A and B are shown apart, each in its own frame.
Chain A
Amino acid sequence: MGEWPIVKGDYQIGDKESRIGIVTLASHFELKQEELKKVAIIGSCKTENLGAEKIITNTVSNPNIRFILLCGNESRGHLSGHTLKALHANGIDENGKIIGSEGAIPFIENIPENAIARFQRQVQIIDRIGETNLDSILQIAEEYSKRGEPYPEPPLVVQTVKRKKRRKTIPISMAKDIMISGNVVLDSSSGVIEICSGSKKSKK
Protein backbone atom coordinates (compact mmCIF):
# COMPACT_ATOMS: atom_id res chain seq x y z
CA MET A 1 0.00 0.00 0.00
CA GLY A 2 1.33 3.42 -0.92
CA GLU A 3 0.95 6.59 1.06
CA TRP A 4 -2.15 6.48 3.23
CA PRO A 5 -4.43 8.22 4.14
CA ILE A 6 -5.00 9.93 0.83
CA VAL A 7 -6.83 13.01 2.02
CA LYS A 8 -6.17 15.15 5.06
CA GLY A 9 -8.71 15.70 7.75
CA ASP A 10 -9.53 15.83 11.43
CA TYR A 11 -8.33 12.34 12.33
CA GLN A 12 -5.68 10.24 14.09
CA ILE A 13 -3.91 7.36 12.42
CA GLY A 14 -3.39 4.10 14.30
CA ASP A 15 -2.40 0.72 12.87
CA LYS A 16 -3.13 0.76 9.15
CA GLU A 17 -3.37 -3.05 9.22
CA SER A 18 -6.40 -2.85 11.51
CA ARG A 19 -9.75 -3.89 10.07
CA ILE A 20 -11.68 -1.03 11.59
CA GLY A 21 -12.03 2.68 10.96
CA ILE A 22 -14.00 4.84 13.38
CA VAL A 23 -16.09 7.83 12.39
CA THR A 24 -16.99 9.89 15.44
CA LEU A 25 -19.38 12.21 13.56
CA ALA A 26 -19.77 15.50 15.49
CA SER A 27 -17.85 14.23 18.53
CA HIS A 28 -14.14 14.40 19.05
CA PHE A 29 -11.97 11.89 20.88
CA GLU A 30 -8.23 12.07 21.39
CA LEU A 31 -6.89 8.52 21.61
CA LYS A 32 -3.70 7.59 23.44
CA GLN A 33 -0.95 5.76 21.52
CA GLU A 34 -1.89 2.44 23.10
CA GLU A 35 -5.53 2.87 22.17
CA LEU A 36 -4.67 3.86 18.61
CA LYS A 37 -3.20 0.41 17.96
CA LYS A 38 -6.72 -0.96 17.75
CA VAL A 39 -7.87 1.21 14.86
CA ALA A 40 -6.69 2.09 11.39
CA ILE A 41 -8.07 5.61 11.60
CA ILE A 42 -10.39 7.57 13.87
CA GLY A 43 -11.84 10.97 13.17
CA SER A 44 -14.88 13.16 12.92
CA CYS A 45 -17.23 13.69 9.98
CA LYS A 46 -19.50 16.67 10.33
CA THR A 47 -20.74 17.20 6.79
CA GLU A 48 -22.93 15.02 4.61
CA ASN A 49 -21.12 15.89 1.37
CA LEU A 50 -17.42 16.76 1.55
CA GLY A 51 -17.01 14.87 4.83
CA ALA A 52 -18.60 11.72 3.44
CA GLU A 53 -16.35 11.95 0.38
CA LYS A 54 -13.26 12.00 2.58
CA ILE A 55 -14.42 8.91 4.47
CA ILE A 56 -14.88 7.00 1.23
CA THR A 57 -11.56 8.14 -0.25
CA ASN A 58 -9.57 7.12 2.81
CA THR A 59 -11.44 3.83 3.19
CA VAL A 60 -11.20 2.41 -0.32
CA SER A 61 -7.51 3.28 -0.45
CA ASN A 62 -6.86 0.89 2.45
CA PRO A 63 -8.15 -2.66 1.78
CA ASN A 64 -7.39 -3.63 5.39
CA ILE A 65 -10.39 -1.65 6.56
CA ARG A 66 -13.46 -3.90 6.52
CA PHE A 67 -15.58 -2.20 9.17
CA ILE A 68 -16.63 1.41 9.66
CA LEU A 69 -17.92 2.19 13.14
CA LEU A 70 -20.27 5.17 13.22
CA CYS A 71 -20.40 6.62 16.72
CA GLY A 72 -20.43 9.89 18.63
CA ASN A 73 -23.12 12.50 18.42
CA GLU A 74 -24.91 12.88 15.12
CA SER A 75 -24.03 16.06 13.26
CA ARG A 76 -27.17 18.17 13.60
CA GLY A 77 -28.87 19.18 10.40
CA HIS A 78 -26.09 17.69 8.31
CA LEU A 79 -26.93 14.15 9.55
CA SER A 80 -23.56 12.86 8.37
CA GLY A 81 -23.97 9.52 10.19
CA HIS A 82 -27.40 8.86 8.76
CA THR A 83 -26.07 9.94 5.35
CA LEU A 84 -23.10 7.57 5.46
CA LYS A 85 -25.51 4.72 6.24
CA ALA A 86 -27.77 5.75 3.37
CA LEU A 87 -24.80 6.05 1.03
CA HIS A 88 -23.57 2.60 1.96
CA ALA A 89 -27.02 1.07 1.61
CA ASN A 90 -28.36 2.89 -1.45
CA GLY A 91 -25.57 4.73 -3.27
CA ILE A 92 -26.31 7.85 -5.31
CA ASP A 93 -28.79 8.72 -8.04
CA GLU A 94 -28.00 10.10 -11.49
CA ASN A 95 -27.63 13.61 -10.06
CA GLY A 96 -25.16 12.54 -7.38
CA LYS A 97 -27.75 12.78 -4.61
CA ILE A 98 -27.32 10.23 -1.85
CA ILE A 99 -30.44 8.09 -2.03
CA GLY A 100 -32.45 8.05 1.16
CA SER A 101 -30.46 10.72 3.00
CA GLU A 102 -32.34 13.41 4.87
CA GLY A 103 -29.20 15.49 5.45
CA ALA A 104 -29.21 19.15 4.42
CA ILE A 105 -27.28 18.87 1.13
CA PRO A 106 -26.46 15.18 0.61
CA PHE A 107 -24.58 15.18 -2.67
CA ILE A 108 -21.39 13.53 -3.88
CA GLU A 109 -19.42 15.62 -6.33
CA ASN A 110 -15.75 14.82 -6.19
CA ILE A 111 -15.48 11.04 -6.28
CA PRO A 112 -16.50 8.59 -9.00
CA GLU A 113 -19.27 6.02 -8.68
CA ASN A 114 -16.83 3.11 -8.74
CA ALA A 115 -15.36 4.35 -5.46
CA ILE A 116 -18.81 4.37 -3.89
CA ALA A 117 -19.48 0.85 -5.19
CA ARG A 118 -16.14 -0.27 -3.78
CA PHE A 119 -16.98 1.33 -0.42
CA GLN A 120 -20.26 -0.60 -0.37
CA ARG A 121 -18.51 -3.89 -1.10
CA GLN A 122 -15.42 -3.38 1.03
CA VAL A 123 -16.87 -2.43 4.38
CA GLN A 124 -19.69 -3.19 6.74
CA ILE A 125 -21.18 -0.35 8.72
CA ILE A 126 -21.44 -0.77 12.47
CA ASP A 127 -24.14 1.64 13.58
CA ARG A 128 -23.58 3.00 17.09
CA ILE A 129 -24.62 6.58 16.34
CA GLY A 130 -25.08 8.38 19.66
CA GLU A 131 -22.49 6.29 21.51
CA THR A 132 -20.10 8.70 23.20
CA ASN A 133 -18.58 6.44 25.82
CA LEU A 134 -14.97 5.99 24.74
CA ASP A 135 -14.57 2.71 26.64
CA SER A 136 -17.51 1.21 24.76
CA ILE A 137 -16.13 2.49 21.46
CA LEU A 138 -12.70 1.01 22.16
CA GLN A 139 -14.30 -2.28 23.13
CA ILE A 140 -15.94 -2.47 19.71
CA ALA A 141 -12.63 -1.53 18.09
CA GLU A 142 -10.91 -4.34 19.98
CA GLU A 143 -13.57 -6.80 18.85
CA TYR A 144 -13.26 -5.94 15.16
CA SER A 145 -9.63 -4.88 14.75
CA LYS A 146 -8.44 -8.32 13.67
CA ARG A 147 -11.67 -9.77 12.34
CA GLY A 148 -11.70 -11.26 8.82
CA GLU A 149 -9.35 -10.72 5.91
CA PRO A 150 -8.33 -7.63 3.95
CA TYR A 151 -10.47 -6.81 0.95
CA PRO A 152 -9.13 -8.95 -1.93
CA GLU A 153 -8.42 -6.09 -4.32
CA PRO A 154 -5.64 -3.51 -4.41
CA PRO A 155 -6.14 -0.06 -2.88
CA LEU A 156 -8.42 2.14 -4.94
CA VAL A 157 -6.80 5.54 -5.16
CA VAL A 158 -9.50 7.98 -6.08
CA GLN A 159 -8.66 10.35 -8.90
CA THR A 160 -11.09 13.00 -7.88
CA VAL A 161 -13.41 14.56 -10.37
CA LYS A 162 -12.36 17.87 -8.84
CA ARG A 163 -8.77 17.43 -10.04
CA LYS A 164 -9.97 16.74 -13.55
CA LYS A 165 -12.11 19.84 -13.47
CA ARG A 166 -9.17 21.98 -12.51
CA ARG A 167 -7.60 21.25 -15.86
CA LYS A 168 -10.58 22.67 -17.69
CA THR A 169 -10.38 26.14 -19.07
CA ILE A 170 -13.31 28.36 -19.79
CA PRO A 171 -14.03 30.22 -23.00
CA ILE A 172 -13.03 33.85 -23.01
CA SER A 173 -16.11 35.95 -23.63
CA MET A 174 -14.74 39.43 -22.98
CA ALA A 175 -17.95 40.89 -21.64
CA LYS A 176 -15.86 43.70 -20.10
CA ASP A 177 -18.11 44.27 -17.15
CA ILE A 178 -15.62 45.67 -14.65
CA MET A 179 -13.69 48.84 -15.34
CA ILE A 180 -10.25 49.06 -13.80
CA SER A 181 -9.23 52.36 -15.37
CA GLY A 182 -10.22 54.48 -18.34
CA ASN A 183 -9.09 51.99 -20.97
CA VAL A 184 -8.45 48.85 -18.93
CA VAL A 185 -11.43 46.55 -18.46
CA LEU A 186 -11.94 43.18 -16.83
CA ASP A 187 -14.26 40.41 -17.92
CA SER A 188 -15.36 38.95 -14.61
CA SER A 189 -16.24 35.54 -16.09
CA SER A 190 -12.96 34.83 -17.84
CA GLY A 191 -10.80 36.85 -15.46
CA VAL A 192 -9.10 38.49 -18.44
CA ILE A 193 -7.96 42.09 -18.27
CA GLU A 194 -7.98 43.91 -21.59
CA ILE A 195 -6.64 47.24 -22.73
CA CYS A 196 -9.44 48.72 -24.83
CA SER A 197 -7.34 50.92 -27.08
CA GLY A 198 -5.27 48.04 -28.45
CA SER A 199 -5.50 44.33 -29.03
CA LYS A 200 -3.03 43.37 -26.32
CA LYS A 201 -4.50 41.11 -23.68
CA SER A 202 -2.98 40.00 -20.44
CA LYS A 203 -4.17 37.46 -17.93
CA LYS A 204 -4.95 38.73 -14.49
Chain B
Amino acid sequence: MFRFQKEQEIVDIAGVKIGGQPGELPTVLAGTVFYPNHTIVKDEDKGTFDKRKAESLINMQVTSAEETGNPCMVHIFASSKSSIKKYIDFVSEITEAPFLIDSIESSVRMEGIRYVTEIGLADRAINNSINMGITDDEKNTLKDSDVTASIVMGFNAMDSSLEGRIALLENGGNVAEKGLLQIAEDCGISKILIDPSVTPIGNGAGIALRMTLVAKAKWGHPVGSGIHNAPLSWDWLRNKKKEDVMIYKTCDIGSIGLQLIAAGDFVLYGPIESAPYAFPMAAMADIMIAEAAADFEVIPSEDHPINRLI
Protein backbone atom coordinates (compact mmCIF):
# COMPACT_ATOMS: atom_id res chain seq x y z
CA MET B 1 0.00 0.00 0.00
CA PHE B 2 1.08 3.62 -0.03
CA ARG B 3 0.67 6.97 1.63
CA PHE B 4 0.40 10.35 -0.02
CA GLN B 5 2.94 12.99 0.84
CA LYS B 6 0.34 15.67 0.22
CA GLU B 7 -2.09 16.20 3.07
CA GLN B 8 -5.36 14.54 2.14
CA GLU B 9 -8.48 16.61 2.54
CA ILE B 10 -11.54 15.13 4.23
CA VAL B 11 -14.83 16.76 3.30
CA ASP B 12 -17.92 16.46 5.42
CA ILE B 13 -21.22 16.44 3.58
CA ALA B 14 -24.20 16.14 5.89
CA GLY B 15 -22.15 14.07 8.31
CA VAL B 16 -20.63 11.79 5.69
CA LYS B 17 -16.85 12.08 5.57
CA ILE B 18 -15.07 11.50 2.27
CA GLY B 19 -11.31 11.46 1.57
CA GLY B 20 -8.17 10.98 3.61
CA GLN B 21 -5.18 8.68 3.31
CA PRO B 22 -5.71 5.10 2.08
CA GLY B 23 -6.98 3.04 5.00
CA GLU B 24 -8.22 6.01 7.00
CA LEU B 25 -11.91 6.31 6.12
CA PRO B 26 -14.32 3.76 4.71
CA THR B 27 -15.20 4.21 1.07
CA VAL B 28 -18.41 6.14 0.49
CA LEU B 29 -20.77 4.42 -1.93
CA ALA B 30 -23.56 5.95 -3.98
CA GLY B 31 -26.27 3.91 -5.68
CA THR B 32 -28.28 5.43 -8.51
CA VAL B 33 -32.06 5.78 -8.47
CA PHE B 34 -34.39 6.87 -11.27
CA TYR B 35 -31.74 6.12 -13.90
CA PRO B 36 -32.77 5.65 -17.57
CA ASN B 37 -34.98 2.58 -17.91
CA HIS B 38 -35.19 2.12 -14.14
CA THR B 39 -38.22 -0.11 -13.79
CA ILE B 40 -39.59 1.78 -10.78
CA VAL B 41 -40.04 4.92 -12.92
CA LYS B 42 -43.45 5.21 -14.54
CA ASP B 43 -43.00 8.53 -16.36
CA GLU B 44 -39.53 10.07 -16.44
CA ASP B 45 -40.82 13.46 -17.61
CA LYS B 46 -43.48 13.79 -14.94
CA GLY B 47 -41.34 12.13 -12.31
CA THR B 48 -43.89 9.52 -11.32
CA PHE B 49 -42.57 6.30 -9.85
CA ASP B 50 -43.38 3.40 -7.56
CA LYS B 51 -42.78 5.00 -4.17
CA ARG B 52 -42.97 1.77 -2.24
CA LYS B 53 -40.26 0.15 -4.34
CA ALA B 54 -38.12 3.29 -4.31
CA GLU B 55 -38.29 3.47 -0.53
CA SER B 56 -37.41 -0.19 -0.27
CA LEU B 57 -34.34 0.28 -2.49
CA ILE B 58 -33.09 3.30 -0.59
CA ASN B 59 -33.59 1.52 2.73
CA MET B 60 -31.79 -1.52 1.38
CA GLN B 61 -28.76 0.66 0.67
CA VAL B 62 -28.93 2.15 4.17
CA THR B 63 -29.05 -1.36 5.65
CA SER B 64 -25.96 -2.37 3.67
CA ALA B 65 -24.17 0.80 4.77
CA GLU B 66 -25.00 0.23 8.43
CA GLU B 67 -23.84 -3.36 8.25
CA THR B 68 -20.40 -2.73 6.70
CA GLY B 69 -19.70 0.80 7.92
CA ASN B 70 -19.34 2.21 4.41
CA PRO B 71 -21.41 5.41 4.33
CA CYS B 72 -23.90 5.82 1.54
CA MET B 73 -25.20 8.58 -0.69
CA VAL B 74 -28.10 8.54 -3.11
CA HIS B 75 -27.29 9.33 -6.70
CA ILE B 76 -30.44 10.93 -8.12
CA PHE B 77 -30.69 10.90 -11.89
CA ALA B 78 -33.48 12.89 -13.51
CA SER B 79 -34.61 13.71 -17.03
CA SER B 80 -36.81 16.74 -16.48
CA LYS B 81 -37.13 19.86 -14.35
CA SER B 82 -40.32 18.53 -12.89
CA SER B 83 -38.97 15.11 -11.99
CA ILE B 84 -35.77 16.34 -10.30
CA LYS B 85 -37.78 18.24 -7.71
CA LYS B 86 -40.05 15.29 -7.00
CA TYR B 87 -37.11 12.95 -6.68
CA ILE B 88 -35.28 15.30 -4.29
CA ASP B 89 -38.41 15.67 -2.15
CA PHE B 90 -38.82 11.93 -1.95
CA VAL B 91 -35.21 10.94 -1.31
CA SER B 92 -34.65 13.64 1.30
CA GLU B 93 -37.66 12.42 3.26
CA ILE B 94 -36.66 8.77 3.19
CA THR B 95 -33.03 9.17 4.19
CA GLU B 96 -30.68 11.66 5.80
CA ALA B 97 -27.87 10.64 3.47
CA PRO B 98 -26.36 13.18 1.09
CA PHE B 99 -27.63 13.01 -2.47
CA LEU B 100 -26.16 13.78 -5.87
CA ILE B 101 -28.09 15.89 -8.35
CA ASP B 102 -27.47 14.46 -11.79
CA SER B 103 -28.90 14.75 -15.26
CA ILE B 104 -27.56 14.69 -18.79
CA GLU B 105 -29.30 18.05 -19.26
CA SER B 106 -27.74 21.05 -17.58
CA SER B 107 -31.12 22.78 -17.28
CA VAL B 108 -32.34 19.91 -15.09
CA ARG B 109 -29.26 20.02 -12.88
CA MET B 110 -29.67 23.78 -12.49
CA GLU B 111 -33.30 23.33 -11.52
CA GLY B 112 -32.19 20.86 -8.86
CA ILE B 113 -29.51 23.23 -7.55
CA ARG B 114 -32.01 26.10 -7.33
CA TYR B 115 -34.57 23.86 -5.68
CA VAL B 116 -32.35 22.54 -2.87
CA THR B 117 -31.32 26.13 -2.14
CA GLU B 118 -34.94 27.20 -2.00
CA ILE B 119 -36.05 24.43 0.36
CA GLY B 120 -32.95 24.50 2.57
CA LEU B 121 -31.37 21.19 1.57
CA ALA B 122 -28.27 22.58 -0.12
CA ASP B 123 -25.97 21.23 2.59
CA ARG B 124 -26.99 17.68 1.66
CA ALA B 125 -26.65 18.12 -2.10
CA ILE B 126 -23.73 17.39 -4.41
CA ASN B 127 -23.77 18.81 -7.90
CA ASN B 128 -22.89 16.18 -10.50
CA SER B 129 -21.00 17.67 -12.15
CA ILE B 130 -18.80 20.56 -13.16
CA ASN B 131 -17.39 19.37 -16.47
CA MET B 132 -15.80 20.74 -19.63
CA GLY B 133 -19.24 21.54 -21.03
CA ILE B 134 -20.22 23.86 -18.18
CA THR B 135 -22.17 26.90 -19.38
CA ASP B 136 -22.22 30.44 -17.99
CA ASP B 137 -25.79 29.79 -16.83
CA GLU B 138 -24.62 26.82 -14.80
CA LYS B 139 -21.77 28.79 -13.30
CA ASN B 140 -24.14 31.58 -12.29
CA THR B 141 -26.68 29.13 -10.89
CA LEU B 142 -24.02 27.51 -8.72
CA LYS B 143 -22.69 30.91 -7.62
CA ASP B 144 -26.16 32.05 -6.60
CA SER B 145 -26.94 28.81 -4.78
CA ASP B 146 -26.09 27.54 -1.31
CA VAL B 147 -24.61 24.35 -2.73
CA THR B 148 -20.97 23.95 -1.71
CA ALA B 149 -20.23 20.39 -2.85
CA SER B 150 -19.64 19.25 -6.40
CA ILE B 151 -18.03 16.54 -8.40
CA VAL B 152 -15.47 17.98 -10.81
CA MET B 153 -15.18 15.77 -13.86
CA GLY B 154 -11.86 15.05 -15.55
CA PHE B 155 -13.40 14.11 -18.89
CA ASN B 156 -11.43 15.80 -21.65
CA ALA B 157 -13.07 15.03 -24.99
CA MET B 158 -10.11 16.56 -26.84
CA ASP B 159 -7.36 14.77 -25.00
CA SER B 160 -8.31 11.73 -22.96
CA SER B 161 -4.73 11.04 -21.90
CA LEU B 162 -3.72 11.41 -18.26
CA GLU B 163 -1.99 14.67 -19.14
CA GLY B 164 -5.10 15.96 -20.93
CA ARG B 165 -7.36 15.19 -17.99
CA ILE B 166 -5.01 16.78 -15.46
CA ALA B 167 -4.60 19.86 -17.66
CA LEU B 168 -8.37 20.26 -17.93
CA LEU B 169 -8.64 20.45 -14.15
CA GLU B 170 -5.49 22.49 -13.65
CA ASN B 171 -5.59 25.16 -16.35
CA GLY B 172 -8.30 24.24 -18.82
CA GLY B 173 -5.87 22.49 -21.18
CA ASN B 174 -6.83 23.01 -24.77
CA VAL B 175 -10.56 23.27 -24.17
CA ALA B 176 -11.22 25.89 -21.50
CA GLU B 177 -9.77 29.21 -20.47
CA LYS B 178 -9.57 28.21 -16.82
CA GLY B 179 -9.02 24.98 -14.98
CA LEU B 180 -12.19 23.29 -13.78
CA LEU B 181 -10.91 23.36 -10.19
CA GLN B 182 -10.63 27.13 -10.35
CA ILE B 183 -14.08 27.34 -11.96
CA ALA B 184 -15.45 25.24 -9.10
CA GLU B 185 -13.94 27.59 -6.54
CA ASP B 186 -15.28 30.60 -8.44
CA CYS B 187 -18.72 29.01 -8.20
CA GLY B 188 -18.45 28.78 -4.42
CA ILE B 189 -17.66 25.07 -4.31
CA SER B 190 -15.56 24.39 -1.22
CA LYS B 191 -16.10 20.62 -1.13
CA ILE B 192 -14.53 19.34 -4.32
CA LEU B 193 -14.82 15.68 -5.25
CA ILE B 194 -12.74 14.80 -8.30
CA ASP B 195 -14.01 12.20 -10.75
CA PRO B 196 -11.24 11.20 -13.17
CA SER B 197 -13.93 10.11 -15.65
CA VAL B 198 -14.24 6.48 -16.57
CA THR B 199 -14.35 6.44 -20.36
CA PRO B 200 -15.37 3.21 -22.13
CA ILE B 201 -13.04 0.22 -21.99
CA GLY B 202 -10.76 0.61 -24.99
CA ASN B 203 -11.04 4.38 -24.79
CA GLY B 204 -8.91 4.92 -21.71
CA ALA B 205 -11.00 3.50 -18.85
CA GLY B 206 -7.82 2.44 -17.07
CA ILE B 207 -6.43 5.97 -17.16
CA ALA B 208 -9.02 6.91 -14.53
CA LEU B 209 -7.27 4.63 -12.04
CA ARG B 210 -3.89 6.27 -12.52
CA MET B 211 -5.47 9.68 -12.48
CA THR B 212 -6.95 8.85 -9.09
CA LEU B 213 -3.43 8.52 -7.72
CA VAL B 214 -2.17 11.61 -9.52
CA ALA B 215 -5.10 13.81 -8.49
CA LYS B 216 -4.81 12.86 -4.82
CA ALA B 217 -1.04 13.32 -4.92
CA LYS B 218 -1.35 16.69 -6.65
CA TRP B 219 -4.35 18.33 -4.99
CA GLY B 220 -5.32 16.17 -2.03
CA HIS B 221 -9.04 16.38 -2.83
CA PRO B 222 -11.16 13.25 -2.46
CA VAL B 223 -11.27 11.25 -5.69
CA GLY B 224 -13.69 8.60 -6.92
CA SER B 225 -15.62 7.47 -9.96
CA GLY B 226 -18.46 5.61 -11.55
CA ILE B 227 -16.13 2.78 -12.48
CA HIS B 228 -19.02 0.40 -13.23
CA ASN B 229 -19.28 2.31 -16.51
CA ALA B 230 -16.16 0.45 -17.68
CA PRO B 231 -17.74 -3.03 -17.68
CA LEU B 232 -21.05 -1.47 -18.76
CA SER B 233 -19.46 -0.10 -21.94
CA TRP B 234 -17.58 -3.27 -22.82
CA ASP B 235 -19.19 -4.85 -25.89
CA TRP B 236 -17.53 -8.22 -25.37
CA LEU B 237 -18.81 -8.41 -21.81
CA ARG B 238 -22.29 -7.40 -22.93
CA ASN B 239 -22.39 -10.48 -25.14
CA LYS B 240 -21.10 -12.68 -22.33
CA LYS B 241 -23.92 -11.37 -20.19
CA LYS B 242 -26.36 -13.07 -22.55
CA GLU B 243 -24.66 -16.40 -21.72
CA ASP B 244 -24.51 -15.90 -17.96
CA VAL B 245 -25.47 -12.73 -16.13
CA MET B 246 -23.05 -13.61 -13.31
CA ILE B 247 -20.12 -13.03 -15.66
CA TYR B 248 -21.23 -9.45 -16.05
CA LYS B 249 -22.11 -8.99 -12.40
CA THR B 250 -18.71 -10.23 -11.28
CA CYS B 251 -16.95 -7.62 -13.43
CA ASP B 252 -19.47 -4.93 -12.46
CA ILE B 253 -19.01 -5.36 -8.71
CA GLY B 254 -15.34 -6.33 -8.97
CA SER B 255 -14.56 -3.01 -10.65
CA ILE B 256 -15.26 -1.31 -7.30
CA GLY B 257 -12.20 -3.05 -5.89
CA LEU B 258 -10.05 -1.68 -8.70
CA GLN B 259 -11.04 1.88 -7.90
CA LEU B 260 -10.34 1.35 -4.22
CA ILE B 261 -6.93 -0.22 -4.64
CA ALA B 262 -6.06 2.85 -6.72
CA ALA B 263 -6.85 5.00 -3.65
CA GLY B 264 -10.44 5.92 -4.51
CA ASP B 265 -12.43 7.60 -1.74
CA PHE B 266 -15.91 7.17 -3.18
CA VAL B 267 -17.60 5.05 -5.83
CA LEU B 268 -20.80 5.61 -7.77
CA TYR B 269 -21.54 1.92 -8.16
CA GLY B 270 -24.49 2.15 -10.55
CA PRO B 271 -28.04 0.88 -10.01
CA ILE B 272 -28.96 0.97 -6.33
CA GLU B 273 -30.20 -2.62 -6.66
CA SER B 274 -26.52 -3.64 -6.50
CA ALA B 275 -26.14 -2.39 -2.92
CA PRO B 276 -26.09 -5.86 -1.28
CA TYR B 277 -23.09 -6.78 -3.46
CA ALA B 278 -21.32 -3.42 -3.72
CA PHE B 279 -20.98 -2.79 0.00
CA PRO B 280 -19.30 -6.12 0.91
CA MET B 281 -16.93 -5.69 -2.05
CA ALA B 282 -15.94 -2.22 -0.86
CA ALA B 283 -15.71 -3.37 2.75
CA MET B 284 -13.36 -6.19 1.85
CA ALA B 285 -11.11 -3.88 -0.15
CA ASP B 286 -11.19 -1.26 2.62
CA ILE B 287 -10.16 -3.84 5.24
CA MET B 288 -7.25 -5.11 3.18
CA ILE B 289 -6.10 -1.57 2.41
CA ALA B 290 -6.31 -0.62 6.09
CA GLU B 291 -4.27 -3.67 7.02
CA ALA B 292 -1.68 -2.84 4.40
CA ALA B 293 -1.49 0.80 5.49
CA ALA B 294 -1.33 0.10 9.21
CA ASP B 295 2.40 0.78 9.57
CA PHE B 296 1.95 4.23 8.03
CA GLU B 297 0.32 5.19 11.31
CA VAL B 298 -3.00 5.47 9.52
CA ILE B 299 -5.70 4.79 12.06
CA PRO B 300 -8.95 3.55 10.56
CA SER B 301 -12.00 5.47 11.73
CA GLU B 302 -14.29 3.99 14.34
CA ASP B 303 -16.89 2.94 11.78
CA HIS B 304 -14.38 1.53 9.31
CA PRO B 305 -15.24 -2.03 8.14
CA ILE B 306 -12.04 -3.27 9.78
CA ASN B 307 -13.53 -2.24 13.12
CA ARG B 308 -17.02 -3.52 12.35
CA LEU B 309 -16.59 -6.76 10.49
CA ILE B 310 -13.35 -8.22 11.90
Interface residues of A (CB under 8 A from B): 8-10, 49-50, 75-78, 95-96, 104-110, 162, 165, 168, 170, 175-180, 186, 188-189, 191
Contacts and interface: CB of A to CB of B under 8 A. Distances in A.
Contacts, number: 84
B5 A176 contact: yes
Nearest to A170: B163
Main secondary structure of the interface of A (DSSP, over half): loop
B181 to A, nearest CB: 17
A4 to B, nearest CB: 16
Given A76-B105, A105-B131, A188-B213, A178 B5 contact: yes
Contacts of A104: 104, 106, 131, 133
B158 A96 contact: yes
Contact of B103 (A10, A77, A108, A176): A77
Contacts of A76: 79, 104-105
The secondary-structure label for the interface of chain B is: loop
Contacts of A105: 131-133, 155, 157
B217 interface: yes
17 contacts: A8-B235, A8-B236, A50-B200, A95-B158, A95-B175, A104-B104, A109-B160, A162-B204, A176-B5, A177-B6, A177-B218, A178-B2, A179-B296, A186-B2, A186-B213, A188-B213, A188-B214
Nearest to B103: A77
Nearest to B132: A105
- Highest count of chain B CB atoms <10 Å: which of A104, A165, A176: A104
Interface in B206-259: 210, 213-214, 216-218, 235-236, 238
Determine the interface band of chain B, counting residues with CB < 8 A from chain A.
35 or more
Nearest to B22: A178
Contacts of A108: 157
Interface of B: 1-6, 79, 103-106, 131-133, 155, 157-163, 174-175, 199-200, 202-204, 210, 213-214, 216-218, 235-236, 238, 296
Contacts of A191: 210
B106 A179 contact: no
Contacts of A49: 157
Contacts of B159: 109
A107 B103 CA distance: 19
B175 A107 contact: yes
Nearest to B213: A188
10 interchain residue pairs of minimum CB distance: A77-B104, A107-B157, A188-B217, A177-B217, A77-B105, A8-B235, A105-B133, A188-B214, A180-B2, A188-B213
